[in-house]
Chain A
Amino acid sequence: MLNKRSLSEKIVDNTNIILLALIALTMLFPFYYMFAVSFATYEEFVKTDLLLWPKTWVLDAYEYILGSKEFMRSLGVTVYVTVVGSLVSIMLTAMMAYALTRNIFGQKIYVFLVLFTFVFGAGMIPTYMVVQATGLMDTLWALIIPGAISSFNLIVMRQFFASLPMDLTEAAIIDGANDLQIFVKIILPLSKPALAAFGLFYAVGYWNSYFSALLYLSDPAKWTVQVVLRQLVILNQSNILDAGVQAGMDNPPPAETVGMAAILLATVPILIVYPFLQKHFAKGVMLGSVKE
């Protein structure tokens, strides 16, 4: 009886392990496939049904995409928006979050104003009109300002600040420091790892954002990499990349391999920061689930 149970348990355990491996594989396979095909020649891509390992590896697709002024400019725009946006977001969020941990006049009202945005959305059209009225239309600030503070991050960061030990703050008050000095000289240095984590989450959000570019930008010179990717891969308009590169190459690579190379290039930054994200996110999700 005991033996039989352990055997069936073994079967269950191994099936479980194999199933999980298969699930993980479905997450990895698209990337492996795109990686392999992005190095393949056109002939091989067309002829082979299940292309998993190119016989000849060529860099055409990468030369093409990295030589394209449009793609490189969109990368530059996205890097700019990501860096500036994350800095603005983390600054505004940290400042407000800290102020809300202190018992200032009207504190409850301000917290309520933040929490209410969780359950009632402002609406796409009125927000669009406010963005227009505040003169952000068709500027890169439109990708940053209207979503500068995430209510969720704000609440989580407030909980984090509230959990910091009070003795340092008290000592600083005794030494005659004002609240601004306490925030800059004590709270911020104490919170460096948390600020880095929140900054990373904001950065991923800016890097991945498509919605605000779609809504607020019409000038192609300001397109972000996500907008270019959509045109290139989903709408299959390879002509958005300049013909200049195309003319320079005797045999321009097919749209398929160019698209895969572009997707991989736009994903690499995310994969680079992923280990750092992973270190923090479980904690963040749990902090966020603690009730007010």
Chain B
Amino acid sequence: MENLQRTTELAGNLQEDIDLIVEPKISILKRMWKERYLYLLLLPGLLFFIIYRYVPMAGNIIAFQDYSAFQGFFHSDWVGLKHFKTIFEDEEVLRVLWNTLYLSFLQIVFAFPVSIILALMLNEVRNSIYKRVVQSIIYVPHFLSWVVVIGIVTILLKSNGIVNKVLGSVFGMDSVAFLQDPNWFMPLVVLEVIWKESGWGTIIFLAALSGISPSLYEAAAVDGANRWQQIWHITLPALKSTIIILLILRLGSVLDVGFEQIYLMLTPFTMKVGNVLDTFVYLKGIQNSDFSFATAVGLFKSVIGLILIVAANRLAKKFGEGGVY
């Protein structure tokens, strides 16, 4: 067998033919030995996924324990579903869950359509240089860090920032505490997301639009359709499946509202309206060392996320949109 394999390697172009005959007979180990260099390439990455993605997944079992660092994984007391019961009884968790869902709802309603509208607007621009310049500018914020974005917002909205100065001198208004007032928290978070990501979000819609055949528009124009009718009957239907797919993905991550942004925006004044699941897990788990309970909340979030994405995908397939996977 060894010899045969050596000859196959030397035989060059005959190799494929021989493989076809030999493959079913050689054992798995032989096959793996033949592919040893590919395994060498695979191994570091595979170890990464196992250690930093799958071991933590298994580590979620501490959600069913009263984990203490001194007793470790194997000696901490098992408490069953105690922490999960707490999730539905603890008023703070319920409020955090509500904040998360409410913020996701606001983002889907207000931020999601902005990219579509922007893409439609860009699509109507005839001058391709102007279009490219605008695109280049509106993609930039996507590449800025949340620290920078919220730093800018802080600078502009502080009590002595330019917004309050202009409100004071032009409109004679009192200074507005945008960053401390709980009523401003959610609107600011949504506006920040719109500012940072809606330009970037146009890319996928513009790509879908570029696939529309110009002859469709010509035919419509001959039939007397005006610009709005063309947008309504040609452009928007072309975006339909992209919109549905992106909405599915968004629904699947409805409990994901972005840790960094919210954490950086939170102040003691806005904690009540602004604390979401991710920041709650961090504050409870890392800062208060309540590992098991925080893990339970995190696991709850992951499981709901998984269920949502599977359900949304089924739904999309039912509507004949193919689904995401």
Contacts and interface: CB of A to CB of B under 8 A. Distances in A.
Interface string A262-277: 0100110011001001
Nearest to A25: B137
Q: Which of A33, A98, A104, A121 has the most CB of B within 10 A?
A: A121
A97 to B, nearest CB: 8
Contact of B295 (A123, A178, A271): A123
A49 interface: yes
A128 B286 contact: yes
A144 to B, nearest CB: 11
A22 to B, nearest CB: 11
Interface stretch (A60-68, A79-87, A243-251, A281-289): A281-289
A124 B285 CA distance: 9
Contacts of A266: 145, 148
B59 A126 contact: yes
B264 A178 contact: no
A65 to B, nearest CB: 14
B118 interface: yes
Given A19-B121, A130-B55, A256 B155 contact: yes
Contact of A127 (B13, B56, B325): B56
Nearest to B154: A234
Interface string B111-130: 00000001001101111001
Interface string B186-206: 000000000100010001100
Given A100-B42, A115-B325, A173-B15, A126 B155 contact: no
Interface in B272-325: 278, 281-282, 285-286, 291, 294-295, 298-299, 301-302, 305-306, 309-310, 322, 324-325
A260 B156 CA distance: 10
A46 to B, nearest CB: 8
A99 B39 CA distance: 7
B62 interface: yes
Given A24-B137, A30-B156, A49 B42 contact: no
A127 B298 CA distance: 11
B56 A95 contact: no
B134 A20 contact: yes
Contact of A176 (B10, B49, B133, B138): B10
A125 B203 contact: no
Given A27-B199, A123-B59, A50 B162 contact: yes
Given A125-B286, A210-B145, A270-B143, A289 B204 contact: yes
B210 to A, nearest CB: 10
A130 B121 contact: no
Contacts of A9: 226-227
B151 A234 contact: yes
Nearest to A133: B55
Interface stretch (B99-107, B165-173, B212-220): B165-173
B54 A113 contact: yes
Contacts, number: 266
Interface residues on B, range: 35 or more
B112 to A, nearest CB: 17
A43 B143 CA distance: 34
Interface in A196-252: 204, 207-211, 214-215, 226-227, 229-230, 233-234, 236
Contacts of A263: 148, 151-152, 155
Contacts of A210: 145-147, 260, 264
Interface stretch (B28-36, B74-82, B86-94, B232-240): B28-36
B263 interface: yes
B303 to A, nearest CB: 8
A122 interface: yes
Contacts of A104: 35, 38-39, 42
A226 B147 contact: yes
B37 A126 contact: no
Q: Which of A21, A49, A270 has the most CB of B within 10 A?
A: A49
A26 interface: yes
A151 to B, nearest CB: 8
Closest A-B pairs by Cβ, 6 of them: A96-B45, A126-B59, A208-B145, A99-B42, A126-B56, A122-B56
Interface of B: 9-10, 12-13, 15, 28, 31-32, 35, 37-42, 44-46, 48-49, 51-60, 62, 118, 121-122, 124-127, 130, 133-134, 136-141, 143-148, 150-152, 154-156, 160, 162, 165-166, 168-169, 195, 199, 203-204, 207, 226-227, 252, 259-260, 263-264, 278, 281-282, 285-286, 291, 294-295, 298-299, 301-302, 305-306, 309-310, 322, 324-325
Given A17-B125, A27-B141, A263-B148, 15 more contacts: A17-B130, A34-B152, A50-B165, A50-B169, A99-B38, A104-B42, A113-B49, A123-B57, A127-B56, A211-B260, A230-B151, A236-B154, A259-B151, A263-B155, A267-B148
25 contacts: A13-B124, A23-B118, A27-B137, A30-B155, A34-B152, A51-B162, A92-B45, A99-B38, A99-B42, A104-B42, A113-B49, A117-B53, A122-B60, A123-B57, A123-B60, A125-B291, A126-B55, A145-B48, A149-B45, A226-B145, A230-B151, A236-B154, A267-B148, A274-B143, A289-B204
